[in-house]
Amino acid sequence: MSSDTNIRLDKWLWAARFYKTRSIAQQMVQGGKVRYNGQRSKPSRTVELGATVRLTQGYVEKTVVITGLSDIRRSATEAQQLYRETAESEQQREKLVQQRQLANASKAAPPTKPDKKRRRELLQLKNRQGDF
C-alpha cells in the first residue's frame, strides 16, 4: 500500500482490480457507472479512507468502503485489502445471481445443435415473420 495520500479515483479503481485498465476505469467514472460518496465525480477525484464507492461491473453493482490507498496494481489478495464490500451490497449481489440462475434454468436448451438444413429452415422462418 502506498503512503501517498493523493491518489486519483480511476487509479485506485484500477489498483483495486475493479477494472482491467486505467482507461476503462476512467471511462466508467466519466460515464456515471461509478459514484463516489453518492455523487458523480471526475476520474481525477482524490480518494480518501472511509469513502463509499458504488460501481457497476457488467450486471453486478457493488458498494464498497475504501480501507486502503494504493496507486500500484498488485495481486488480487493485496487488492482486496484496499476495500470492504458492504453487507447490503453482498446480499443484493447474491440475490441477483439467484434470479439470473432461475431465469436461465427455465430456458430449455435443445438436445443438439441444428444441422445445416435445420439452420436454413430457421433463417427462412425468421425472414418470413418480418414480412407480415
- Higher pLDDT among residues 104 and 115, named by residue: 115
In this structure, is residue 113 part of a structural domain? no
Q: Which domain holds residue 68?
A: 9-103
Tens digit of each residue's pLDDT (9 = 90 or more) over 45-93:
999 999 999 999 888 899 999 999 999 999 999 999 999 999 999 999 9
In this structure, is residue 88 part of a structural domain? yes
Question: pTM of the entire structure?
Answer: 0.75
In this structure, is residue 96 part of a structural domain? yes
Report whether 13 contacts 19 (CB < 8 A). Answer: yes
CATH number at residue 38: 3.10.290.10
Q: Is 125 helix (H, G, I), strand (E, B) or coil?
A: helix
In this structure, is residue 128 part of a structural domain? no
In this structure, is residue 70 part of a structural domain? yes
In the predicted model, what is the mean pLDDT of the chain? 90
Q: How many domains does the chain have?
A: 1
Q: How far is CA 123 from CA 41, 52, 58, 60, in A?
A: 47, 50, 31, 34
Are β-strands 52-57 and 34-36 bridged in parallel, bridged antiparallel, or unpaired?
A: antiparallel
- Residues 92, 87, 94, 13: is their CA dihedral positive or negative? positive
Site of grid cell 439470473: 100
In this structure, is residue 33 part of a structural domain? yes
In this structure, is residue 125 part of a structural domain? no
| Phi/psi at 59 (5° precision) | -85, -10
